[in-house]
Amino acid sequence: MFLLSDLILQTTVNRQSIRDIKPPFDVPPNYMMYIILGIVIVVGLSLGVFYLRKHRLNKTITPIVEVESRPAHEIALEQLNALEKDTKDMETFHTQISYVIREYITARFHIPALELTTSSLLREMISNQVDKSCIDRLQDFLTNCDRVKFASYLPNTSEADKRMIDARWIIDTTIS
């Protein structure tokens, strides 16, 4: 163990006095990291602006043209005419004719017919106070289409012609 007297004796022997701790060295700041980071940011922003301007300039702005909306019955009758000319298998025919009538009902009565089952659709039609004869014929029409679509029933050509007549009758009856 050192004693205070030993410490005093040591300093006198070496003839040096006790000195304070040296301060830390001043390290010059390294600006290279900041310079590189600044260059990367400027280049990145420049490339981003260039990319956005290039893609925005290439896209032409199309003016909004107001299209005259046609009555729902006209659209449905056109689709039925196109379907009648196009000869397909019975399942596809019944699927498409059912879809046309459901689209027509959606547009005409504002009922989401494409999302409803046949029974739910008929209930909605009753609540919208559609004519009872139209609902009965629609029920017969949709039930027969569902039988072909889901129960693997294969109708003959005369039944398909009857579906087309029913579809046209439903549209003609409900034209407002």
57 close to 93: Cβ distance less than 8 angstroms: no
How high is the pLDDT of residue 154?
82
pLDDT in tens, 72-124: 889 899 999 998 887 678 888 888 999 999 999 998 888 898 898 999 999 99
Q: What is the pLDDT of residue 102?
A: 92
In angstroms, rounded to a whole number, what is the distance separating the alpha carbons of residues 51 and 60?
A: 16
Predicted structure pTM score: 0.60
The radius of gyration computed from the CA coordinates of the chain, to the nearest angstrom, equals 43
First CA to last CA distance, the chain: 114
Question: Please, are residues 166 and 140 in contact by the beta-carbon 8 Å criterion?
Answer: yes
Mean pLDDT of the chain: 83
